[in-house]
């Protein structure tokens, strides 16, 4: 895993650490932001101008061997996003106690639209989008069980969702500003 600066994060210096390495900085384990603790997953060194540097140890998910790893800047320019084997976290670059765990799990993929400053993550059936103004949207289910060919265009996320009723994948499109979707497939509501 390496840090990807998608959105020009303001003054970030983020590096992936060897989990065994002691760099002599305050460290936190997530979930929980527990100080001076360690968990198996991803270890990230965070430096941001004007803030105390720190190391975060982010617990890895176990739901799928195909879940993704990622460390990138958040579109708001103040937070980082860490995905460790499908478990997702958003943490302030300056205040490691300001964090949240993402409800989407396991995170199976991601894409970004740099020009619009939008980061999109997805699990087996839904997408969640993060915008630069702090807005977060979630789609309804776009698949019975599995998304594929998910990618960003200039203004939308497109892909295919599994439709168990027809035994095939069907296309969907999601507006990156609102999260409104068309197409896809989902089980009927009971």
pTM, two decimals, is 0.91
Contact 25, 95 (CB under 8 A): no
Instruction: Give the closest residue to 123 by CA, choosing from 90, 155, 156, 87.
Output: 87
Contact 21, 15 (CB under 8 A): no
Three-state DSSP class for 100?
Answer: strand
Contact partners, residue 106, CB within 8 Å, separation at least 6: 61, 63, 64, 67, 85, 86, 87, 123, 124
Please give the distance of CA 103 from its chain centroid, rounded to a whole number.
10
* Per-residue confidence (pLDDT) for residue 14, from 0 to 100: 85
Instruction: List per-block mean pLDDT (blocks of 10 residues) for the chain, which spans 190 residues.
Output: 77 74 83 92 89 94 93 93 96 96 94 93 97 95 96 95 96 96 86
């Amino acid at each position: 895993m390496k840090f990807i600066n998608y959105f020009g994060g303001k003054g970030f210096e983020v590096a992936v650490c060897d989990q065994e390495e002691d760099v002599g900085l305050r460290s936190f384990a997530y979930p929980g932001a527990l100080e001076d603790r360690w968990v198996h997953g991803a270890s990230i060194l965070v430096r941001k101008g004007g803030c105390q540097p720190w190391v975060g140890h982010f617990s890895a998910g176990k739901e799928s061997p195909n879940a993704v790893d990622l460390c990138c800047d958040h579109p708001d320019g103040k937070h980082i996003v860490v995905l460790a084997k499908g478990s997702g976290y958003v943490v302030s670059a300056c205040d490691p106690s300001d964090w949240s765990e993402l409800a989407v799990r396991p995170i199976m993929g991601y894409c970004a639209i740099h020009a619009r400053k939008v980061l999109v993550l997805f699990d087996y059936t839904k997408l969640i989008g993060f915008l630069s103004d702090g807005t977060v949207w979630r789609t309804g289910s776009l698949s019975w069980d599995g998304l594929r060919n998910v990618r960003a265009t200039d203004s939308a996320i497109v892909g295919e969702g599994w439709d168990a009723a027809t035994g095939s994948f069907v296309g969907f499109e999601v507006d990156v500003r609102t999260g409104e979707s068309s197409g896809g497939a989902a089980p009927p509501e009971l």
